[in-house]
Amino acid sequence: MSDWPEWWEWELDGSNPHLRERMAERRFNETDLRDMMGRGSALKPDYEPDRWVLETTFENAPWEVVLEPDEGRARLVVVTAYEVY
C-alpha cells in the first residue's frame, strides 16, 4: 500500500488481554507480530467502527491483524491476529 495512514507510525500497543490469549493460542509472539506488520500488503476498514484490518502473512500463510488507532494516546492498539482460511 502506498499511502499508509498517519497512525501507522504510532507506537504499537499489544498489551490487551484478548490479544495475549490469542498469541499463545495461535503460537505467535510480539516479534512475529511486528514482522507481520512489516509485511502488510493492504489495509481495509473493519466491520467495527474505528478499527482496521491489515492483510499480511505469517509462516507463508495469509493472516489478518485487527488494529484500532487510539488517537488520545497516539498508539496503535492490536486487537487480535488470525490466519485466514
pTM of the model as a whole: 0.94
Query: What is the pLDDT averaged over residues 1-26?
Result: 92
> CA 12 to CA 84: how far, in whole Å?
22
Residue-wise pLDDT tens digits, 47-63: 999 999 999 999 999 99
Q: Find, among 77, 57, 79, 82, the residue nearest to 66 by Cα.
A: 79
Give the pLDDT of residue 3. 83
> Is pLDDT at 4 greater than 60 in this prediction?
yes
Kindly list the structural domains of the chain, giving each domain's residue range(s) and its CATH number in brackets, ordered by start: 9-83 (3.30.2310)
pLDDT category of residue 1 using cuts at 50, 70 and 90: low
Mean pLDDT, rounded, of the chain: 95
